[in-house]
Structure formats: structure tokens, C-alpha cells
Amino acid sequence: MMPAVFAAVFTTLWVAHTVGDHWVQTSVQSADKGQHSRNPGQSSRTGRLACTRHVIGLTLTKMLLLALAAVVLDLPLTAAGLAAGLGLDAASHWWADRRSSLAWLAKVTGQSQFYNLGTGAHPAHPVTSQGKPAAHLGTGAYALDQSFHAFFLFLAALLITAI
């Protein structure tokens, strides 16, 4: 029973994550959540609030879809498991979505070149035939962001299932 519950919880969290990260998040939240103050040692209130609003919407999306799955599939979820799993997921998501923290993690793990893939900072950045920046569908930063979130969705699903 437990492996099936884990599979249902993880699948639900993954779907809710993609909906919450791409449909529920507003353009303003996406643009502002990584803002930091130009003054060293001061964090931007605008950035922190945008990121917090995004994570609240994302977590509510996950809660709603988990509640639906729990009712329809008769999943034995506990309030403690949900609080632990969703709390870990929300905290890790907020940390990564402030952007400078994920850039730092990429740097200390030797992934800076991949992090910059698809941007002007990468030595092989995409350009048009005129040598201007070319449009593309993604960046290394986005791929690392999503894989970071997937790892914590896995941990959240373990917590939700086990507690």
C-alpha cells in the first residue's frame, strides 16, 4: 500500500508543481521574485514578497490537488505528514526561487557553465545570423531550477507518505 500511496502523492505533487509554477504564478511574481537590493547586505522587500506570494499560491495548488487525490483515491494522508512535506517543499522552493541562492549552488557544485546555458553569459549563447541574441525555449538555470524542485518534491512525497 505504501509504495502506491507514495506514487500517487509524488505524481500529484509533480502535476501541482507544474501548474503552480507555470499557470498560477503571475508574471509580476516571476519577474520580481529574484529582486535584491542594490545595497550589499540589504535584501529587497519587493523580491521577498513576490517570492512569498508565489510560494503561497504554489503550495495552495499542491494542497488542493492533494486533497482531491486523497478523497478520490482514499489516500491515508495525515495532517502532520502534509505539514512536514509541504513545509519542506515550500521552504526549498522559496530558497531556490530567490535566484541568487540557486546561482550560488550552481557555482559551488561546478555547474555555472550549465547554469548560464542559453543566456548571453554562456560562451556558446544562441545568436541570430546577424549576431544578435536569439530566442530559445529554456536555459540551464531553468533546468537546474526545475530539477532542484523535483528533488524536493520527491522528499516531500516521502515525508507525506511516511508520517
Per-residue pLDDT tens, the chain, 163 aa: give them. Answer: 899 999 999 999 999 999 999 999 999 999 999 888 766 655 688 999 999 999 999 999 999 999 999 999 999 999 999 999 999 999 999 999 998 899 999 999 999 988 888 776 666 666 777 877 666 667 889 999 999 999 999 999 999 999 9
Note the pLDDT of residue 139. Answer: 84
Note the pLDDT of residue 43. Answer: 61
- Whole-structure pTM value: 0.87
Contact call for residues 55 and 29 (beta carbons, < 8 A): no
Note the pLDDT of residue 135. Answer: 62
Return the number of other C-beta atoms located less than 10 Å from residue 147's C-beta: 9
Phi-psi region of 128 (alpha: psi -120 to 50; beta: other; left: phi over 0): beta
Note the pLDDT of residue 132. Answer: 74
H or E stretch including 55?
Answer: helix 45-73
Note the pLDDT of residue 67. Answer: 98
Note the pLDDT of residue 33. Answer: 93
Note the pLDDT of residue 136. Answer: 62
Q: How many residues does the chain have?
A: 163
Tell me how far apart the alpha carbons of residues 63 and 68 are, in angstroms, rounded to a whole number: 9
Tell me how far apart the alpha carbons of residues 55 and 96 are, in angstroms, rounded to a whole number: 11
Quick one: CA dihedral 15, 18, 20, 24, positive or negative?
A: negative
Note the pLDDT of residue 96. Answer: 96
